[in-house]
Amino acid sequence: MDKFPIIDADIHPSVDGAAVLARLPEPWRTRYAGGNRSSGSLGWWNPNGVNRPDAVIDGRRIEGDPHLLGRHFFDVYGIDYGVLITGGTLHLGLSPEADYAAAVISAVNGVMIEEWLPVDPRFRVALAVYPNDPALAVAEIHRWGGHPGVVQIQMPSGARIPYGQRFFHPIYAAAAEYGLPVAIHPGTEGVGISGPPGAAGYPTSYFEWHTGLVETYIAHLVSLISEGVFTKFPTLKWVMVEGGISWLPPILWRMDKNWKALRMTIPWVDRLPSQIVQEHVLLTTQPLEEPENPKQFHAILEMFDAAKMLMFSSDYPHWDGDTPDFAARQFPAHLRERVMSRTAAELYKLPVPELPLA
């Protein structure tokens, strides 16, 4: 792993509640102190828990302290940069109480930017927003969008309506104004004001829910293309965090085929959907599909522009996370440097050294 830089596109810090509370005005401060925090979850049992039980040093969770995270994760794996995504804000993004949720999200952003970023120059922040009131989301982007430590806008993948629809376009306009990609992250499907977590309704186990998360990603991707988001915002990039990889090629094929026959229904889509996706959309590696035969996974990677569309992510400290060395081994040698750092460096405008000539 010392052959190339490493950029981790998905790390989950745990934010201290007292620091959030200190940034909340009334009446939200009293409500937060009383335990009114997010839209909750559907409560399926995961035998692994959410976070790794071994991510503890002297009784303290590593992800809960910026110093510990730098020393016991970044240093251990030689990570040059990491994008910090606060998980609790994803659930808040689907709260029916827009003003309260947006206030807490803003306070969490303040903690990350003012207390975490100064600790370690390798930290970068995904700015969370409340997407279901675009005016509130836009105000938050204008508040922090110009900060050098903010590298993307973060929204939950669970949603009330597909993200391509015009309701959300003011958010994309603000993100494009600051040159920031917009990212979605799973885990909120079915909670708060989102719809059922699956196309057929409500699953009955964590296994079923977790396996079916790709349905949400497919729906949002098709919506983004069919609603002409990238025609309207030609500089916008979209990041699908923690949504898997192998589902992408068949959806691109299906969209291309249907566009050839049905393009009159979406006249603003002026070229093959696959071309638009490969120019504007990126995915992160975790969770990787792991077939018994690695050649089958490599074949999938040849079906789209993996060199420019994939970014390494560990998902640390979640139960199903991938370490950099594990992830790098899954990719053929010619893709490793791109996947592990170069593509993310280009997207997030991060300085990483060029590889020496062989």
Instruction: Provide the pLDDT for residue 101.
Output: 96
Instruction: Report whether CATH 3.30.420.40 matches the domain 7-348.
Output: no
Instruction: Provide the pLDDT for residue 2.
Output: 66
* Contacts of 290 by beta carbon, 8 Å cutoff, 6+ apart: 297, 330
Q: What confidence tens digit (pLDDT) does each residue in 283-320 have?
A: 999 999 999 999 999 999 999 999 999 999 999 999 89
Mean pLDDT computed over 156-160: 96
Model confidence at 70: pLDDT above 80: yes
Q: What confidence tens digit (pLDDT) does each residue in 17-39 have?
A: 999 999 999 999 999 998 877 77
Model confidence at 42: pLDDT above 90: no
* Contacts of 57 by beta carbon, 8 Å cutoff, 6+ apart: 68, 72
Amino acid identity, residue 107? Answer: A
Instruction: Provide the pLDDT for residue 358.
Output: 43
* Contacts of 73 by beta carbon, 8 Å cutoff, 6+ apart: 11, 62, 63, 79, 316, 317
pTM for the full model? Answer: 0.96
